[in-house]
Amino acid sequence: MTNISDQLDREDSRVRHDQGIGGAVRAFLDRVKSGDLGMLPVFIGLLLISVVFSSLNPVFLAPNNLVNLLFDAAAIGLISLGVVCVLLLGEIDLSIGSMSGLASALIGVLWVNAGLPWPFAVVLAVLAGAAVGLLYGFLRNKFEMPSFVATLAGLLALLGLQLYLLGSTGSINLPYTSTLVKFGQIMIMPAWLSYICALLPGAVIVYTGMNTNNRRRAANLSSPGMSVVFAKAIIITVALVFCVYYLELGRGVPWMFAVFTVFVIALEYALRRTKWGRSMFAVGGNAEAARRSGINVRGIRMSAFMICSAFASLGGVFAASRLASASQQAGTGDVNLNAIAAAVIGGTSLFGGRGSAWSALLGVIVIQAISNGLTLLNLSSSLRYMITGAVLAIAVIVDSLARRSRASHGRA
Amino acid sequence: MTADKGELILKLRGVSKQFGAVTALKDIELDVHAGEVVALVGDNGAGKSTLIKVLAGVHQPTEGTIEWCGKPVSLDSPGTALELGIATVFQDLALCENLDVVSNLFLGHEINPWQLDEVQMEVRAWTLLRELAARIPSVREPIASLSGGQRQTVAIARSLLLDPKIIMLDEPTAALGVAQTAEVLNLIERVRDRGHGVILISHNMEDVRAVADRIVVLRLGQNNGVFTNETSHQELVAAITGASENSVSRRMARKQEEAV
Ligand SMILES: Nc1ncnc2c1ncn2[C@@H]1O[C@H](COP(=O)(O)OP(=O)(O)OP(=O)(O)O)[C@@H](O)[C@H]1O
Ligand SMILES: [Mg+2]
């Protein structure tokens, strides 16, 4: 190790520089204390949910129930992934439910009724979503229309279009033998592939960790050391392998969920490691400052609304394939609330400028676990709505309190 | 003495800016040459920041022409101004509090847009900050955790990043410590010696005299004379306040009487 005070970023003696695993843990505790909770509430929430529901009904933790849970989570999860993008800018899209319903209606009409090949219908549905997002972005940029008003209008308009498309029959059944429906109901990853996928993140963490460490050392910057990297990789690998093993006791890992996870990883990369992602956080944090830095704020807004609606469409397609039908009920009820709640519960702030793609994945598992657990207890949907509403309220309260605490600790 | 400093980079003629009923700028003329420090002084609300924002592409002028290196340009967005080589330190700094120092420094101009090069950006950040004798404990903390002066240093460092032709500083030393103020003044001189133009806004006449080649006075949104650093203090204050009999001269007279 080089002399510490020689390193570029180690000149200020006032800063405690955390080294090794102990340092990483200490830094994490500091962050939590200052209100930078990250994913912590989710893990605590999941633990609570598991304990409560499995004590009420042991089936809750049965492997096959969890497999079903993942099947159900993918559609809402995708919608929630889009919500993360608009929330990062401090905007909102209330029409995601209607958009997903419209997309499933489009699948029914284009594929079943008009006879287009299904991949074609899926692409068209997603493009329709992007076009709706373009319109929202335009209304926001051109007329400064608050997004919650524009999308509230969209909620009704899109629902109307969905009902119009489905016409008098009210619902269109999708053929059971098709790949699209199998994808939503029975397709499971082969066990060997699941295990490889479980090992991959650990390997990537070690590889990039090593790379970063070497480059930082070469550039005369302090490097956190490999012990933290290895610890992180080992914890994640063990956790993932255990999850796969447990799911393999049942049917295994649904392809649907795997595809959703790939989208999560792609968005996370785009948000953390690209200029576009940096601009998203900047616009969400201080739009005027972002503009003065030469960022195309309108373009960023436009892209966020388009991605949101496109993900909502894709989520609608997933939902249709899960239910094997395109119905008038698709996308109505608690879909909107659940998708937004998932993003917030996962740690994406409603106030803009904070969040991550992972929040969609973790949040949707929480939401789906609650809904699944309550269904197992044979509770009516009225109670389910009330409980999910309460969970959302709690998540927002945690978000607001954490924000206040961060402000007083100077962490924005 | 200034005309031979270098070529004319920036030339404003008849620039006006209206905010509804308020005329913030009227018929402004301003020249900036390469290798020259132009100080912009005036009372609160004289229109200095507005002028800077027009040049930074933040506000569009209601009237008037702006010439850049002899060619008329329209600065229709901050991006255009940055591309031409006009960098600005705004009075309100315009930093993103939720991002860390490195992200703020490189905002909009990240190295390697498809796979951000954090290591290289961090190294460059430390070098820039060191040039300014910055006292910043960590560049990986969000801006929200920095003091006012530290934020100002970050904003100044950011303006240097792209090696601009002209840098405009709106009260850059208002919150800075003694050493950091001296570094900023040194920096202004270094930037000038490299053949770049500087526009400096400051209420501190000592700093202005120390570095400025020309002192342009704005009063109530209009040009009110161009001076050099040999101009007497009284004359300058008179131009700023618009009268030789003003609160500053009255206060001076009173102090002198008390001393007698
Ligand atoms: N965005 C705006 N909308 C309306 N009026 C504005 C706006 N910005 C500035 N003004 C007005 O323009 C005038 C000039 O303001 P400006 O900020 O340029 O003053 P200044 O010379 O920078 O003053 P200070 O020394 O206090 O920073 C003021 O009367 C102000 O009220
Ligand atoms: Mg000002």
Q: Are A104 and A331 in contact (CB under 8 A)?
A: yes
**Chain center to CA of A150:** 23
Q: Which of B58, B95, B145 sits opposite A410 (nearest CB)?
A: B145
| Best residue in A275, A300, A356 for a mutation probing chain B (most B CBs within 10 Å) | A275
Cβ within 8 Å, pair B108-A273 = no
Q: Which residues line ligand 1 (CB under 6 A)?
A: B 19, 22, 24, 42, 44-50, 91
Q: Identify the band that residue B133 occupies on the pLDDT scale cut at 50, 70 and 90.
A: confident
pLDDT digits over A165-176, tens only? 998 778 999 999
Looking up tokens 């269109």 gives A172
Whether residue A234 is contained in a domain is answered as yes
* Ligand 1 pocket, mutate which of B16, B49, B60, B222 (most atoms under 8 A from CB): B49
Q: Identify the band that residue A148 occupies on the pLDDT scale cut at 50, 70 and 90.
A: very high
Q: Which of B82, B116, B123 sits opposite A274 (nearest CB)?
A: B116
- Model pLDDT, residue B82: 95
Q: Identify the band that residue A4 occupies on the pLDDT scale cut at 50, 70 and 90.
A: very low
**Residues A140-163: b if buried by 16+ CB within 10 A, e if exposed:** beeeeeebeebbeebbeebbebbe
Question: Chain B: residue nearest A353 by CA?
Answer: B98
Q: Within an 8 Å CB–CB cutoff, is residue B70 touching chain A? A: no
Whether residue A8 is contained in a domain is answered as no
Q: Which atom of ligand 1 is nearest to the CA of B203?
A: 25
Q: Which residue, A253, A281, A307, sits at the end of a domain?
A: A253
Has domain B1-85+164-231 been given CATH number 3.40.720.10? no
Question: Chain B: residue nearest A352 by CA?
Answer: B98
- Model pLDDT, residue B1: 39
| Best residue in B53, B75, B107 for a mutation probing chain A (most A CBs within 10 Å) | B107
pLDDT digits over A327-336, tens only? 988 988 889 9
| Best residue in B49, B99, B105 for a mutation probing chain A (most A CBs within 10 Å) | B99
Q: Are A304 and A141 in contact (CB under 8 A)?
A: no
Whether residue A268 is contained in a domain is answered as yes
Whether residue A9 is contained in a domain is answered as no
Q: Find the B44 Cα to ligand 1 centroid distance in Å.
A: 8
Whether residue A330 is contained in a domain is answered as yes
Whether residue A94 is contained in a domain is answered as yes
Alpha-carbon span A40 to A30, nearest angstrom: 13
- Three-state DSSP at B152 gives helix
- Write out the two tokens for A402: 């954490």
More confidently predicted of B254 and A313: A313
Q: Please give the angle made by the CA atoms of A166, A172 and A178, to the nearest 5 degrees.
A: 140
- Three-state DSSP at B210 gives helix
B201 beta partners: B40, B170
- Model pLDDT, residue A3: 44
Alpha-carbon span A197 to B85, nearest angstrom: 48
What's the Rg (C-alpha) of chain B?
19
Amino acid at B87: A
Atom 1 (ligand 1) nearest CA? B19
Half-sphere exposure of B170 (CA within 13 A, CB side): 20
Q: Within an 8 Å CB–CB cutoff, is residue A211 touching chain B? A: no
Tally of domains in chain A: 2
Q: What is the mean pLDDT of residues A80-108?
A: 96
Cβ within 8 Å, pair A294-B120 = no
- Model pLDDT, residue A15: 65
- Write out the two tokens for B18: 């209206």
* Ligand 1 pocket, mutate which of B17, B50, B208 (most atoms under 8 A from CB): B50
| Same-domain pairing of A231 and A357 | no
Looking up tokens 């029914």 gives A108
Q: Which domain holds residue A143?
A: 38-183+255-402
Residues of A in contact with B135 (CB under 8 A): 12
| Same-domain pairing of A116 and A224 | no
Q: Which of B99, B122, B123 sits opposite A282 (nearest CB)?
A: B99
Tell me which of A154-163, A358-367, A370-379, A395-404 is least confident: A395-404
Q: What are the CB-based long-range contacts (under 8 Å, 24+) for B56-61?
A: B56/A292, B56/B81, B56/B86, B56/B88, B56/B90, B56/B168, B57/B81, B57/B82, B57/B86, B58/A291, B58/A292, B59/B17, B61/B15, B61/B16, B61/B17, B61/B25
Cβ within 8 Å, pair A289-B94 = yes
Q: Identify the band that residue A222 occupies on the pLDDT scale cut at 50, 70 and 90.
A: confident
- Is the pLDDT score of A51 beyond 80? yes
- Is the pLDDT score of A384 beyond 60? yes
**Pairing of β B37-41 and β B197-201:** parallel
Nearby residues of A126 by Cβ (< 8 Å), 6 or more positions away? A103, A310, A313, A314, A317
Nearby residues of B30 by Cβ (< 8 Å), 6 or more positions away? B10, B11, B12, B15, B38, B51, B216, B223
Q: Identify the band that residue A11 occupies on the pLDDT scale cut at 50, 70 and 90.
A: low
| Same-domain pairing of A262 and A374 | yes
Q: Which atom of ligand 1 is nearest to the CA of B171?
A: 27
- pTM for this one? 0.92
Q: Identify the band that residue A34 occupies on the pLDDT scale cut at 50, 70 and 90.
A: confident
Can you say whether residue B23 is alpha, beta or left, with left for phi > 0 and alpha for psi between -120 and 50 degrees? beta
| Same-domain pairing of A230 and A278 | no
| Same-domain pairing of A268 and A373 | yes
Q: Within an 8 Å CB–CB cutoff, is residue A14 touching chain B? A: yes
Alpha-carbon span B131 to B190, nearest angstrom: 11
| Same-domain pairing of A313 and A394 | yes
**What is the domain-level CATH number for residue A309?**
1.10.3470
Q: Averaging pLDDT over each range in A279-288, B144-153, B249-258, which range is the top one?
A: A279-288
- Model pLDDT, residue A131: 98
Nearest chain B Cα distance for residue A408, angstroms: 9
Q: Which of B78, B123, B137 sits opposite A219 (nearest CB)?
A: B123
Q: Identify the band that residue B5 occupies on the pLDDT scale cut at 50, 70 and 90.
A: low
Half-sphere exposure of B17 (CA within 13 A, CB side): 23
The whole-chain average pLDDT of chain B stands at 90
| Same-domain pairing of A212 and A348 | no
Q: Centre a 10 Å sphere on the Cβ of residue A87 and count the other Cβ atoms it contains.
A: 27
- Model pLDDT, residue B2: 40
Q: Within an 8 Å CB–CB cutoff, is residue B108 touching chain A? A: yes
Cβ within 8 Å, pair A292-B135 = no
Q: What is the mean pLDDT of residues A215-242?
A: 91
- Is the pLDDT score of B27 beyond 80? yes
Alpha-carbon span B66 to A2, nearest angstrom: 53
pLDDT digits over B93-127, tens only? 899 999 999 999 999 999 999 999 999 999 999 99
Whether residue A13 is contained in a domain is answered as no
Looking up tokens 């956790």 gives A239
Q: What is the mean pLDDT of residues A175-184?
A: 92
- Model pLDDT, residue A14: 62
Nearest chain A Cα distance for residue B245, angstroms: 40
- Model pLDDT, residue B100: 94
Nearest chain A Cα distance for residue B230, angstroms: 36
More confidently predicted of A175 and A388: A175
| Same-domain pairing of A289 and A192 | no
B40 beta partners: B201, B216
- Model pLDDT, residue A220: 87
Task: Write down the ipTM of this complex.
Answer: 0.90
| Same-domain pairing of A261 and A232 | no
| Same-domain pairing of A159 and A299 | yes
How many residues are there in chain A? 412
Per-residue three-class SS string for chain A:
CCCHHHCCCCCCCCCCCCCHHHHHHHHHHHHHHCCCCCCHHHHHHHHHHHHHHHHHCHHHHCHHHHHHHHHHHHHHHHHHHHHHHHHHCCCCCCCHHHHHHHHHHHHHHHHHHCCCCHHHHHHHHHHHHHHHHHHHHHHHHHHCCCHHHHHHHHHHHHHHHHHHHHCCCCEEECCCCCHHHHHHHCCECCHHHHHHHHHHHHHHHHHHHHHHHHHHHHCCCCCCCHHHHHHHHHHHHHHHHHHHHHHHHCCCCEHHHHHHHHHHHHHHHHHHHCHHHHHHHHHHHCHHHHHHCCCCHHHHHHHHHHHHHHHHHHHHHHHHHHHCEEECCCCCCCHHHHHHHHHHHCCCCCCCCCCCCHHHHHHHHHHHHHHHHHHHCCCCHHHHHHHHHHHHHHHHHHHHHHHHHHHHCCCC
- Model pLDDT, residue A87: 97
Q: Please give the angle made by the CA atoms of A28, A29 and A34, to the nearest 5 degrees.
A: 100
Q: Are A188 and A255 in contact (CB under 8 A)?
A: yes
| Same-domain pairing of A298 and A229 | no
Amino acid at B224: N
| Same-domain pairing of A106 and A226 | no
Q: Centre a 10 Å sphere on the Cβ of residue B7 and count the other Cβ atoms it contains.
A: 10
Q: Which atom of ligand 1 is nearest to the CA of B47?
A: 18
- Model pLDDT, residue A412: 60
- Model pLDDT, residue A1: 39
- Write out the two tokens for B63: 């009237």
Alpha-carbon span B249 to B254, nearest angstrom: 9
List where CATH 3.40.50.300 sits in chain B.
1-85+164-231
Q: Find the A394 Cα to ligand 2 centroid distance in Å.
A: 43
Instruction: Output the CA–CA distances (angstroms, integers) from residue B62 to A126, B18, B24, B25, B28, in the order listed.
Output: 43, 6, 10, 9, 12
Q: Name the residue among A344, A363, A313, A369 with its Cα closest to residue A110.
A: A313
Q: Find the A2 Cα to ligand 2 centroid distance in Å.
A: 46
Alpha-carbon span A319 to A299, nearest angstrom: 30
Nearest chain A Cα distance for residue B95, angstroms: 6
Cβ within 8 Å, pair A354-B98 = yes
- Model pLDDT, residue B3: 41
B22 beta partners: B19
- Model pLDDT, residue A315: 97
Q: In this structure, which ligand is nearest to the CA of A288?
A: 1
- Model pLDDT, residue A17: 66
Q: Are B16 and B25 in contact (CB under 8 A)?
A: yes
Q: Identify the band that residue A238 occupies on the pLDDT scale cut at 50, 70 and 90.
A: very high
Amino acid at A339: A
Q: What is the mean pLDDT of residues A44-54?
A: 91
Q: In this structure, which ligand is nearest to the CA of B218?
A: 1
- Is the pLDDT score of A206 beyond 50? yes
Whether residue A131 is contained in a domain is answered as yes
Atom 22 (ligand 1) nearest CA? B49
Q: Are B32 and B67 in contact (CB under 8 A)?
A: no
